[in-house]
Amino acid sequence: MGSSSDMKSAKSKNSENTDNVWSSILTEVRSNASTKMPSGKSIVVLGDNESGKTTLVAKLQGIEDPKKGCGLEYAYIEIRDEYRDDQTQLSVWVLDGNPSHANLLQFALSDKTFSETVVMLTVSMATPWTIIDQLQFWAGLLHDHVDSLKLSPDRVKELREKCVKRWLDYVEPGDELDLASGKQNNMNLSSRNSRNFDEEPILPPNTLVRNTGLDIVVVVTKTDYINTLEREHDYRDEHFDFIQYHVRQFCIQYGAALFYTSVKEDKNCDLLYKYLVHRIYGLPFRTPALIVEKDAVFIPAGWDNEKKMAILHENISSFKPDEYFNEVIQKPVVTRKPVNREPEVEVEDEQKFLERQQVLLQSSNLKDPRLSPGVLSEKPGAQNRPGIGKGIGSNSPIKTPIKGETASSSERVLANFFNSLLNKKGASSSSPNRPSDESRSEAAAELDSYINKKKMNNSLNSSSDC
């Protein structure tokens, strides 16, 4: 009996162990499922037309041939987490640069997707004189849209506090190790990192004064145009420092990160992708701020302040750093040289010219010897001076009719000559004002027969005289 009871207890223990194994497996699966990359995240891209929005999104997608649409474009970026062997899709909405399409923003950014959305403002270095105006315009449009959403005051406060916390909690790569070990006397640590979190957070001056509750990234595209600006418009380093200063001022007011990118030269595009994945999905990011290269600037949200921006003042000497932006960075005036165009001369149609000459000769009855058939000029400019010119088909002037030749015979020859030219309307020619080669050959033949007849008449007259 004892042995049977022992067997029963052993079986019960095995069943309990089996249940515990399955329970642990289910718990592990449940925990792993909770750590998977979330879906439903999105990016909304705003900016003027020709600011490089579509090309930049295609670069983030890994597409070489971007297709530009209109209105509100939709795309997605494949996001892969190599550490957890997980992947998801990040939705991307690109709004058309025409302000008339601003009402379409409601489909990309609603009260339900507000907290899951990152906004990207794009401007182009190809037109630096419009950068600040464009940033202010699209930020204002974004403010108006946020105000139109049905967000409760408590939620708005919560979203804005989240932006403040994100700004204050920024730690430069490498400093997080010191924070974890409790070493707060490191000079590289900001005072805000050692603040008492029970106290009300204190923001630096001019920081997040225009808090929308959204995570914003400002992207200055086409920085490869900096070389063109230096070469063609005499831009100097102080101009680019002035531009950077004002853009960074805008960024700290909205709590935005800043990127200078060039798809053409592939600058900061991969870094932008990694930063977006870090901000949206919390993946590791170890790149510090980059401010050395003027065409590849990167300033993460929370790093910048007025004191760091003051370093740019040292290189600005021709104007004051706080001057009005458009007074310093002005659109270049393109002066066009006047083009001296010769007046167009409308050439008379060949057939009309010949008809007019025929009528003129027939009406004169060849009483004036200067109107002989050989005096017609080939040049259109001599059409009103029938008495000047050289014979067609000959290099020497044709003489007046000799003695013994009647006016009727000359008139008949001329009529045949002009009729032969008028009947060649279908003949092709290199110039619309000159007879074709075939017409010239026929005219030359007519004149040769005409000259031969004259010679025969001269010989007959001379023999009769003898």
pLDDT of 353: 84
pLDDT of 338: 62
pLDDT of 223: 96
Q: Are strands 72-81 and 86-95 parallel, antiparallel or unpaired?
A: antiparallel
Reply yes or no on whether the pLDDT at 403 is more than 70: no
pLDDT of 386: 45
Mean pLDDT across the chain: 79
The answer to which of 109-113, 122-126, 426-430, 444-448 has the lowest mean pLDDT is 426-430
- Domain range annotation of the chain: 37-172+191-328, 350-425+433-465
How confident is residue 14, by pLDDT bands cut at 50, 70 and 90?
A: low
Mean pLDDT of 154-182: 82
Q: Which one has a higher pLDDT value, 48 or 426? A: 48
How confident is residue 170, by pLDDT bands cut at 50, 70 and 90?
A: very high
pLDDT of 89: 92
pLDDT of 245: 96
Q: Which one has a higher pLDDT value, 35 or 211? A: 211
pLDDT of 70: 83
Topology (CATH) of 37-172+191-328: Rossmann fold (3.40.50)
User: Best-predicted range by mean pLDDT among 22-36, 71-85, 340-354?
Assistant: 71-85
pLDDT of 460: 62
Mean pLDDT of 283-310: 94
Q: What is the pTM of this model?
A: 0.65
Reply yes or no on whether the pLDDT at 367 is more than 60: no
How confident is residue 115, by pLDDT bands cut at 50, 70 and 90?
A: very high
pLDDT of 186: 43
pLDDT tens readout for residues 134-145? 999 999 999 999
The answer to which of 27-36, 151-160, 335-344, 351-360 has the lowest mean pLDDT is 27-36
Q: Which one has a higher pLDDT value, 81 or 261? A: 261
How confident is residue 280, by pLDDT bands cut at 50, 70 and 90?
A: very high
